[in-house]
Copies of this chain bind each other. A is one copy, B any other.
């Protein structure tokens, strides 16, 4: 943890981010549509093999869309130049709450072999501070019902599991 910093992703980070997401695709096939536990857990380890050439055009286009959007931020946890975690922050403007934005956190991932070291926690604390800087009134996320370790993790950060999260594949 000593050398982990959090920053916006650049194009050079895209292959590593996709590896983290693919990691979770594997977990997902075992355990349905679930965020991986941010600490502990039996996540697959990163394979370390995705090259920029292997990134498809849709992913590059999605990165450019996020990068150009002032209400979306793709974040990486960077340990001495290596991407070890990621999350995506979306700031949603709203007529309620006197016009304050709400921050939605998606795609939280920490590299499987590095869990339990506090990287996920530090990334969430950093993200919540980012929301406060922008004047957001609320932060929100959803996580699979069965991920009880993730539930404890988010509760320990002050989140309340007050809602059900409904999903519909289109």
Q: List residues of A whose CB falls within 8 A of some B CB.
A: 14, 17-18, 21, 25, 32-33, 56, 58-59, 61-63, 65-66, 69, 71-72, 74, 88, 90, 92-96, 98-100, 102-104, 106-107, 128, 131-132, 136-145, 151, 154-155, 157-170
* Beta-carbon contact of A164 and B139 below 8 Å: no
**Are A158 and B165 touching (Cβ within 8 A)?**
no
Docked pose: A137 CA to B142 CA in angstroms: 17
Question: B71 near A93 (CB under 8 angstroms)?
Answer: no
Q: How far is the CB of A44 from chain B (nearest CB, A)?
A: 15
Query: Contact partner of A162 among B18, B25, B106, B165, CB < 8 A?
Result: B165
Partner of A164, one of B66, B74, B163: B163
- Residues of B near A161 (CB, < 8 A) are 145, 164-166
Are B159's CB and A14's CB within 8 A? no
Which 6 A-B pairs give the minimum distances between C-beta atoms?
Answer: A163-B165, A58-B99, A62-B99, A159-B166, A142-B163, A65-B93
Contact A95–B59 (Cβ < 8 Å): yes
Inter-chain contact B95/A14, CB cutoff 8 Å: yes
Most chain B CB within a 10 A radius of its CB, from A104, A132, A144: A104
Cα–Cα distance between A169 and B56 once the two chains are bound (Å): 38
Partner of A95 from the list B107, B168, B170 (CB cut-off 8 Å) is B107
Please name 12 further chain A to chain B contacts, defined as beta carbons within 8 Å, in addition to the given A33-B162, A58-B99, A58-B100, sorted by A numbering: A14-B95, A58-B98, A59-B99, A63-B95, A94-B106, A103-B170, A128-B168, A142-B142, A142-B165, A144-B164, A155-B166, A161-B165
Contact partner of A142 (CB less than 8 A), chosen from B94, B100, B139, B140, is B140
